[in-house]
C-alpha cells in the first residue's frame, strides 16, 4: 500500500505534467479526417504541436483561434467562428475538435453556446461534426484531457442501436498511455477471437508512421464519425485504464452497451483477464495463437526474473502508466524505489511502494537519492537529465519520447507486448552491474555536491 503525497509545491521544477488540452488534442489525432483547434493564444497550439511532432515524428494537424489582446478582453466567439470557417474552407475535415485552454476558461468563455450560435448561422459547417471540449490547463493533466475529449466525442456522436441488430463487435476505449503499436496489438488480439472491434480513438490508424499517397491537411486516418455513431451496436465496451471509466460510463448511458474497465493490459494476470473477457463475449475458447503467446510470456518471466529480483526501479508518468509499469516491475520481483505521477489517483495507493508523489522530476530525483539510488528509471524523455546526473539507465516510456526512434511502435500490451517489455527491461538490468548491492548506486552526499556544482 502506498501513501499518495501531494506537496502542492509553489515551484514546480522540471515538470512531469503535460497539459490537459494537449491530451484532448492527442485523442482527436485518432479521429479520421480531423483537424482539432485550441481556443487560446497561438502559443498554446505551437507548444502542443511541436511536442507531438517530436514524439511521433509525423505532421500534426492542430490549429488555433489565435486569441489576441482585444479578443481576450471582448470575448473570443468571433475568433472561434473565423477559425472554424477557415478550417472548413482550407482542410475540409469531417470533424473538428474545439478545445478550450486556460486563457479562455479563465475569462469564462461559453464555448458550447458559441458553437451553437455559429453553426446556426453558417451552413458551410453543416456537414462537419464540431466537438467542443472543456479542458483547461489548470485542471488535471494529459490523461484528463484525453478522457474529456473521448467523452465529448461519445456524447455528441454515439447513438443507441435502436432497430439495428447487434453486431459481433466490441468497443475498445484505450487510455492515452497506450501507443499506436499497443492499439494495433489489441486489435489483432480481439480479431483473433473472431470479433470485430471499434476503437475510439484509434491512433494506430493515424499516427502509426506510414506514408500516404497524397498530401492530407487533416489526420491521416483514425476512427470515422460513422464508426462512433455505430458504437451502440457492439456487445461490450472494454475501457483500458482507470481514466477511461467516465468515457465508458458515458457510452453506456448513451447506448446501453455494458462496459468493463481493465486497469491494464500488461502483465500475465492482467492479460489473462482480457482473454477471459474476450472469450466470454465471443463465445469461443481462447485461440491457439494466444495460448502459445501466453506460454512464451511465462517462459520470458522464468528466464527474466533473475535480473529483476531485488532491483529497484523509479517510475514517473501519468497515473495509468505508473500503475501499469509499477505492477509489472512488482510482478517480476523488483521493488519500486520511487514513483512520481501527475495527479492523485486513488488506485495508485494499491501499488507496492512506500509513497507515490504527485510532483515533478525534482521529486523523482529526491526520491531516488533518499532511497540510496536505483537501478532503472522508467519515464519519458524529460527524465534524461536526472538519469544522466546520476548515471542511471533511463528506459523511455510514455509521452513525450523525442530522443529515440519508434515511440509509436513500442508495444507492451498483450502477452507478446509484455514478453518483449520484460526482455527489454531485463537486458538493461542484466548489463547494469551490482545487482542491487552497492555498485552503481549513487551516494547521495556526493551527488548533491555534484549537482550543485553543475547548477552553479
Partner 1 sequence: MLKHKIQELMNEPGCATNQAKSDKDRKKGCGKSLVPGAAAGGCAFDGAKIALQPITDVVHLVHGPIACEGNSWDGRNSWSTGSDLYRRGFTTDMGNLDIVNGGEKKLYRAIKQAVAKHNPPAVFVYQTCVGALIGDDVDAVCKAATERLGVPVIPVNAPGFVGSKNLGNRLAGEALFEHVIGTVEPDDVGPTDINILGEYNVAGELDQFRPLLARLGIRLRASITGDGRYKEVAACHTARANMVLCSQALITLARKMKEKWDIPYYEGSFYGISDTSEALRNIARMLVERGADPTLTQRTEDLIAEEEAKAWAALEQYKPRLKGKKVLLYTGGVKSWSVIQALQEVGMEVVGSSVRKATEADKKKALERLGGDEEKLADAITPRDMYAMFKDGKADMMLSGGRSQFVALKARTPWIDINQERHHGFAAYEGMVTLIREIDLSINNPIWAQVRAPAPWDQE
Q: What is the contact surface with partner 1 in residues (CB under 8 A)? A: 9-19, 21-22, 37, 40-48, 50-51, 53-54, 58-59, 63-69, 71-72, 79-80, 82-87, 90, 101-103, 106-107, 136-139, 141, 211-212, 214-215, 217, 382, 385, 454-456
Alpha-carbon distances of 318 from 32, 175, 294, 395, 408, rounded to whole Å? 26, 11, 27, 15, 17
273 or 450, CB closer to partner 1? 450
Distance CA 161, CA 167 (A): 10
Q: To the nearest whole angstrom, how small is the minimum distance from the Cβ of residue 108 to partner 1?
A: 10
Nearest to 327 by CA among 286, 269, 384: 269
Distance CA 67, CA 134 (A): 16
Q: What is the dihedral of CA 287, 291, 297, 299, to 10 degrees?
A: -160
Q: To the nearest whole angstrom, how small is the minimum distance from the Cβ of residue 72 to partner 1?
A: 5
Which residue stretches of 193-318 are H helix?
225-229, 245-255, 268-282, 288-308
72 or 249, CB closer to partner 1? 72
Q: To the nearest whole angstrom, how small is the minimum distance from the Cβ of residue 89 to partner 1?
A: 9
Q: To the nearest whole angstrom, how small is the minimum distance from the Cβ of residue 64 to partner 1?
A: 5
Question: Residue 447 burial by CB count (10 A; 0-12/13-18/19+): exposed, middle or buried?
Answer: middle
55 or 327, CB closer to partner 1? 55
Q: To the nearest whole angstrom, how small is the minimum distance from the Cβ of residue 56 to partner 1?
A: 10
Distance CA 143, CA 26 (A): 10
Distance CA 400, CA 103 (A): 24
Q: To the nearest whole angstrom, how small is the minimum distance from the Cβ of residue 188 to partner 1?
A: 22
Distance CA 257, CA 4 (A): 34
20 or 238, CB closer to partner 1? 20
168 or 451, CB closer to partner 1? 451
104 or 412, CB closer to partner 1? 104
Strand 312-317 versus strand 376-379 pairing type? parallel
Amino acid at each position: 500500500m502506498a501513501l499518495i503525497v501531494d506537496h502542492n509545491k509553489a515551484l514546480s521544477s522540471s515538470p512531469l505534467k503535460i497539459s490537459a488540452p494537449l491530451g484532448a488534442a492527442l485523442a482527436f489525432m485518432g479521429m479520421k479526417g480531423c483537424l482539432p483547434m485550441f481556443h487560446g493564444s497561438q502559443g498554446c497550439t505551437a507548444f502542443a504541436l511541436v511536442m507531438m511532432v517530436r514524439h511521433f515524428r509525423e505532421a500534426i494537424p492542430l490549429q488555433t483561434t489565435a486569441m489576441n489582446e482585444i479578443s481576450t478582453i471582448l470575448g473570443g466567439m468571433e475568433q472561434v467562428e473565423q477559425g472554424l470557417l477557415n478550417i472548413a474552407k482550407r482542410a475540409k475535415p469531417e470533424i473538428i475538435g474545439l478545445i478550450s485552454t486556460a486563457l479562455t476558461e479563465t475569462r469564462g468563455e461559453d464555448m458550447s453556446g458559441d458553437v451553437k450560435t455559429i453553426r446556426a448561422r453558417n451552413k458551410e459547417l453543416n456537414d462537419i461534426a464540431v466537438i467542443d471540449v472543456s479542458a483547461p490547463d489548470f485542471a488535471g493533466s494529459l490523461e484528463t484531457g484525453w478522457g474529456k475529449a473521448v467523452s465529448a466525442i461519445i456524447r455528441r456522436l454515439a447513438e443507441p442501436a435502436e432497430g439495428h441488430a447487434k453486431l459481433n463487435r466490441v468497443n475498445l476505449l484505450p487510455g492515452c498511455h497506450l501507443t499506436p503499436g499497443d492499439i494495433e496489438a489489441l486489435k489483432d488480439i480481439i480479431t483473433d477471437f473472431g470479433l470485430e472491434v471499434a476503437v475510439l480513438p484509434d491512433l494506430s490508424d493515424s499516427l502509426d508512421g506510414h506514408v500516404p499517397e497524397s498530401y492530407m491537411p487533416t489526420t491521416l486516418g483514425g476512427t470515422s464519425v460513422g464508426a462512433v455513431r455505430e458504437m451502440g451496436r457492439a456487445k461490450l465496451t472494454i475501457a483500458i485504464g482507470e481514466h477511461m471509466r467516465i468515457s465508458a460510463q458515458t457510452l453506456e448511458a448513451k447506448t446501453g452497451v455494458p462496459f468493463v474497465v481493465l486497469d491494464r493490459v500488461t502483465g500475465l494476470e492482467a492479460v489473462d483477464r482480457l482473454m477471459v473477457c474476450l472469450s466470454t463475449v465471443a463465445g469461443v475458447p481462447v485461440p491457439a495463437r494466444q495460448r502459445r503467446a501466453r506460454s512464451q510470456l511465462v517462459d520470458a518471466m522464468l528466464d527474466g526474473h533473475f535480473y529483476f529480483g531485488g532491483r529497484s526501479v523509479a517510475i514517473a508518468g501519468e497515473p495509468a502508466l505508473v500503475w501499469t509499469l509499477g505492477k509489472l516491475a512488482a510482478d517480476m520481483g523488483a521493488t519500486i524505489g520511487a514513483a512520481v505521477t501527475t495527479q492523485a489517483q486513488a488506485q495508485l495507493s494499491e501499488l507496492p511502494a512506500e509513497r507515490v508523489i504527485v510532483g515533478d522530476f525534482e521529486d523523482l530525483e529526491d526520491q531516488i537519492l533518499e532511497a540510496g539510488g536505483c537501478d532503472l528509471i522508467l519515464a519519458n524523455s524529460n527524465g534524461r537529465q536526472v538519469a544522466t546526473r546520476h548515471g542511471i539507465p533511463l528506459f523511455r516510456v510514455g509521452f513525450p519520447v523525442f530522443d529515440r526512434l519508434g515511440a509509436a511502435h513500442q508495444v507492451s500490451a498483450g502477452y507478446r507486448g509484455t514478453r518483449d517489455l520484460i526482455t527489454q527491461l531485463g537486458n538493461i538490468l542484466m548489463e547494469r552491474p551490482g545487482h542491487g548491492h552497492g555498485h552503481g548506486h549513487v551516494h547521495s552526499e556526493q551527488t548533491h555536491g555534484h549537482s550543485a556544482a553543475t547548477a552553479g
